[in-house]
Structure 1
Amino acid sequence: MGQDVDRTTFSRRDRQRYRAKVHRCLDALAVMLREHPFAQDEPMTGIEVELNLVDRELRPALTGAAVLDAIGSSEFQTELGRWNIELNLPPRPLPGDEWRHLEHHLLDELAVARAKAQDCTSRLVMIGILPTLERDHLVAEAISDDERYAVLNEQMLTARGEPIRIDIAGDDPSGRHSVEPERLVADFDTIAPEAACTSMQLHLQVAPGEFAAYWNAAQCLAGVQLAVGANSPFLLGSRLWAETRIPLFGQSCDVRSVELRNQGVRPRVWFGERWINSILDLFSENARYFPGLMPVTEDTDPLADLEAGRVPGLDELRLHNGTIWRWNRPVYDIADGSPHVRVENRVLPAGPTAVDMVANALFFYGLLRVLVEADRPLWSSMSFEAAEENFTTAARHGMEGPLYWPGSGWIRPDELVLRKLLPQAHEGLARWGVSSEVTDRYLSVIERRCVTRRTGSAWQLDAVAALEARGADRRTALHGMLARYMEASAANEPVHTWPLPS
């Protein structure tokens, strides 16, 4: 949701007009999908990474605006929390050595950001949830000074009508420590808990006619992505899920009251409920199930734009889509005067390192290609409910939770990856034209992560357990773990190689 919003109050007429415009945008998109040419260039990829800022004591540093001013680059943008910034790298194709260059570009940008953050008495952390966050950090004053965030905060709290409740029951996500489950229950009068979730978002531009296959394939892969990429086991001092970011984001953006949840009203953070046949299915569901949170309308008419030979911006449709947080989100956009559509994959956390994130991305892109081009689509033999159950199981248990996979039954994620999915990812990247050197570099990271069974989440859990075994309390152990995490992350050695506190 990057569009500007300069309104703070909305009337019933505003909401009626907005709903009508969303549906008119849908009509225009339907016409475009039938008749209008979309971008035919080589498919482009993109990556966004959300980052945390901490002070010398490793607490959240509310210096985001100052750091952005010091960086002075359009590739860095504001985020919801004042201790967050976001890095958006320019789109690039997949073939050849492009993603090796992307890793270098990512490292260069992170080095600049670290230096500028240091000038602002801050340090940079690339992690799914900042483990040193405390409840008194998640207040309205911690939300970035940007009108669209203020409007979003007000509208979501008004729609909910009561405080936002975070209630997450954990267990031992690593399965190795034989410890008692912990539970976090806390109420907030702000959407600031959403800012605790820092992610990596992957984009893939596809032809409109192929969008449904790519989205369905991405949904199939969401559980596998989480199992091998989890990096968020702690929240507000509690040890919860392997990827606690998943339930936290869902609950912090939930505008439903208890009664509406009991009635089965759909949440705005949504896995979905069925396989699709067209990108239009997703945008139609958005319009059918979700009222506008920020009903701002433009004076343009998308159908009139089409008739006049102009490419419609579909502003209301895009704004509405930005307030519905699907884990695989459809995107309509315009670049160089041509419309295109893409899949935005929002499953993975940020970090632990640049090399780990590039490995996660290429593993995903390679598997997508093979699944989409399979003679029999995977989703024809896998229920949507099974894909969603895999997603939840992996978020809760990481590599310890068995996933369902057609042809393999219930299988541990590391075994599934090593036996079946890594060869497919190799084949998929070859079909994309990715060089063998690039493929070998990054998929070997996924392979060794599965062999050692050490994700970012597993390392964090083991490091905290080691420090607690030496007599540290939880708060001290979290600070000690984070200090070691930041040092190893900056060195860009993959997480499976990181030593534990001795």
Structure 2
Amino acid sequence: MSRLAFRLPAPTGAERRGSGMGSEVSSRTFTRDDRQRHRQKMQRSLDALATMLAEDTFSFPRRQMGLEIELNLVDDAMRPAMANSEVLEKIDDPSYTLELGRQNLEINVPPRELAGGEMLGLEEELRASLDNADTKAHDAGAKLAMIGVLPTLRERHFDRSWLSESPRYALLNDTIFAARGEEMVLRMEGPAMPGKGPEKILSYAESILPEAACTSVQLHLQVEPTDFAAHWNAAQCLAGVQVAIAANSAFLLGKALWHETRIPLFEQATDTRPDELKNQGVRPRVWFGERWITSIFDLFEENVRYFPSLLPETDDEDPLEALEAGGAPRLSELRLHNGTIWRWNRPVYDVVDGVPHLRVENRVLPAGPTVLDTMANAAFFYGAQRALTTQERPLWTQMSFQAAEENLYAGARHGMNAQLYWPGIGWIPPDELVLRRLLPMAHDGLRDCGVSDEARERYLGVIEQRCLARRTGSSWQRETVALLEDRGLSRDAALSGMLKRYLELMHAGEPVHAWHVG
């Protein structure tokens, strides 16, 4: 990932905007000396980062946003199309990159200002780019699908042979399994389908490819160093609401599970801990965190203190010497390590044209259902986040960190039917919380960011209507499959039929609250 799910990015520009694993990771075996040298280098990098924060050497010319969308490929029968290399060649656009599984691609949108009508322009560009890519994918026998978890994936698609053709993915796969020492366990149970009982899975995998089932949208926002902690804390507060009102990951391995099944799937698919280490309280690498922060330094320092390196590569830069010479250190080790710890809200340090900056990367949202829904989710997040950072009494001083974490899992499991905790209100459904409290705040936040009235009203209007209709991509998927099964289709046939209709509606472009079942 730069990357809302676990993906390791292919590099372009500033190492694909710098939040993941670069392109030239070696495939050699790492020695004890490698690890000791890497640990020492990480400490020097932390010292350099602390100095930069104290001296305020970061760039912040304007508030910039960035966007990444992970995509699935399917064939005419709605099965996964394991053809991302061929499709990428057909698309021939540097904005598109390979991802972990051969059924995955990712589009990376160049950063741009948040203010004005930039979001409206981005929507049009994104729609045109995806339509063009889909047309070219047809030449390779594939179609693009923006959906949180591809519902037609089966256990056979998790075979190691379906890793994308890149040594770095094979290396990461082997490193995670070496750390774990045993096969992955996928264990989930979801809320009941309409008119039916709950369903569950217990499955095992011998590769990290279950993670490739998770396709997400990652939102980046460039912030000033002194504002980073407030923006990160605010993003943590919003995570449960975000997944509840944007859930789009209803099915895995043929079963109806969580409304946002990506959340538990991603955590389980990249877990380096056997049960004994879990029982000892060892922290997972897919992590919500455990406390509110006061500086971005807190997060990088936790990364170094708690997590052994999966990829202890070192370069020849001395970050403190680079800083003393008036340059911006690359901090390559710190950034690579950060790219293998998958926080739902991740800190990003990056250097562009020799100038360092900081970003919050929000990683909780699923892909889809439409470009308009994606832009609406982004606008809601940026607006509500901004509003929370400007409150006289910060929200995170009024609720425990554990309450924010519990909101994430409640929202992911139950979607619009969740009960979330919010200070001053108590327990409340997410749609009511948004309509009563967060939507007005998001309007204020976007105004404060200088977003045009046209963009603000367009995108937040979608959020309002979605909450009034109480319809998400996930609820539409579940209702549609239930209807098709009631008409006599098997689960597999119902999932394929649902996905075919989903793609038709995705291309039509009407937001999901306007989608009809049947």
TM-score normalised over the length of structure 1: 0.98
Q: Is 2:142 the partner of 1:122?
A: yes
Q: What SS does the corresponding residue of 1:339 show, helix, strand or coil?
A: strand
Question: For residue 11 of structure 1, what is the aligned residue in structure 2?
Answer: 31
Counterpart among 241, 247, 254 of residue 237 in structure 1: 254
Question: For residue 76 of structure 1, what is the aligned residue in structure 2?
Answer: 96
Q: Is 2:115 the partner of 1:95?
A: yes
Q: Is 2:305 the partner of 1:288?
A: yes
Deviations 1:16-65 (A, max 9, x none): 11111111111100011011421121011000000000111111111101
Percent identity over the alignment is: 58
Question: Which letter does structure 2 place at the counterpart of 1:493?
Answer: E
Distance in 2, Cα, partners of 1:471 & 1:69:
41
Structure 2, unaligned stretches of length 5 or more?
A: 1-19
Q: What SS does the corresponding residue of 1:86 show, helix, strand or coil?
A: strand
Counterpart among 158, 164, 167 of residue 144 in structure 1: 164
Q: Which runs of 4+ in 1 moved over 3 A?
A: none
Residue range with higher mean Cα deviation, 373-382 or 19-28: 19-28
Distance in 2, Cα, partners of 1:299 & 1:94:
37
Q: How does 1:40-59 map to 2 (within 5 A)?
A: 40-59=60-79
Kept in 1, the 8 Å contact 2:186–2:202? The answer is: yes
Question: For residue 350 of structure 2, what is the aligned residue in structure 1?
Answer: 333
Change (3 A) 1:265 1:191: same
- How far residue 407 of structure 1 moved from its aligned partner, in angstroms, is 1.0
Counterpart among 209, 220, 245 of residue 228 in structure 1: 245
Question: For residue 479 of structure 1, what is the aligned residue in structure 2?
Answer: 496
Deviations 1:72-120 (A, max 9, x none): 2111111000110000001011111100001001101101110111011
Question: Which letter does structure 2 place at the counterpart of 1:230?
Answer: A
Deviations 1:323-353 (A, max 9, x none): 0000000000011221000000000000000
Q: What SS does the corresponding residue of 1:23 show, helix, strand or coil?
A: helix
- How far residue 12 of structure 1 moved from its aligned partner, in angstroms, is 1.2
- How far residue 8 of structure 1 moved from its aligned partner, in angstroms, is 3.4
Counterpart among 30, 55, 67 of residue 35 in structure 1: 55
Counterpart among 206, 212, 232 of residue 215 in structure 1: 232
Kept in 1, the 8 Å contact 2:60–2:223? The answer is: no
Q: What SS does the corresponding residue of 1:346 show, helix, strand or coil?
A: strand
Question: Which letter does structure 2 place at the counterpart of 1:81?
Answer: G
Q: How does 1:441-452 map to 2 (within 5 A)?
A: 441-452=458-469
Deviations 1:235-278 (A, max 9, x none): 00010001000000000000001100010000000000000000
Distance in 2, Cα, partners of 1:139 & 1:16:
34
Q: Is 2:328 the partner of 1:311?
A: yes
Q: What SS does the corresponding residue of 1:185 show, helix, strand or coil?
A: strand
Q: Is 2:130 the partner of 1:106?
A: no
Kept in 1, the 8 Å contact 2:240–2:408? The answer is: yes
Distance in 2, Cα, partners of 1:401 & 1:178:
18
Distance in 2, Cα, partners of 1:481 & 1:37:
52
Distance in 1, Cα, partners of 2:329 & 2:307:
23
Question: Which letter does structure 2 place at the counterpart of 1:231?
Answer: N
Q: What SS does the corresponding residue of 1:285 show, helix, strand or coil?
A: helix
Question: For residue 364 of structure 2, what is the aligned residue in structure 1?
Answer: 347
Distance in 2, Cα, partners of 1:12 & 1:366:
47
Question: Which letter does structure 2 place at the counterpart of 1:314?
Answer: L
Kept in 1, the 8 Å contact 2:348–2:360? The answer is: yes
Name the count of aligned residue pairs.
Answer: 498
- How far residue 13 of structure 1 moved from its aligned partner, in angstroms, is 1.1
Q: What SS does the corresponding residue of 1:312 show, helix, strand or coil?
A: coil
Kept in 1, the 8 Å contact 2:416–2:429? The answer is: yes
Q: Is 2:195 the partner of 1:164?
A: no
Kept in 1, the 8 Å contact 2:56–2:225? The answer is: no
Distance in 1, Cα, partners of 2:89 & 2:36:
39
Q: Is 2:223 the partner of 1:203?
A: no
Deviations 1:185-235 (A, max 9, x none): 111110010100000000000001110000000000000001100000100
Question: Which letter does structure 2 place at the counterpart of 1:25?
Answer: S
Q: How does 1:357-396 map to 2 (within 5 A)?
A: 357-396=374-413
Question: Which letter does structure 2 place at the counterpart of 1:3?
Answer: G
Q: What SS does the corresponding residue of 1:256 show, helix, strand or coil?
A: coil
Kept in 1, the 8 Å contact 2:271–2:285? The answer is: yes
TM-score normalised over the length of structure 2: 0.95
Distance in 2, Cα, partners of 1:20 & 1:185:
41
Distance in 2, Cα, partners of 1:309 & 1:425:
40
Deviations 1:130-175 (A, max 9, x none): 0000110111111101111011000000000000110112122x7x
Q: What SS does the corresponding residue of 2:364 show, helix, strand or coil?
A: coil
Question: For residue 443 of structure 2, what is the aligned residue in structure 1?
Answer: 426
Distance in 2, Cα, partners of 1:287 & 1:229:
33
Distance in 1, Cα, partners of 2:50 & 2:407:
32
Question: For residue 509 of structure 2, what is the aligned residue in structure 1?
Answer: 492
Distance in 2, Cα, partners of 1:61 & 1:108:
22
Kept in 1, the 8 Å contact 2:45–2:331? The answer is: yes
Question: Which letter does structure 2 place at the counterpart of 1:7?
Answer: S
- How far residue 420 of structure 1 moved from its aligned partner, in angstroms, is 1.0
Distance in 1, Cα, partners of 2:436 & 2:195:
28
Distance in 1, Cα, partners of 2:207 & 2:70:
20
- How far residue 491 of structure 1 moved from its aligned partner, in angstroms, is 1.0
CA-based RMSD: 0.8
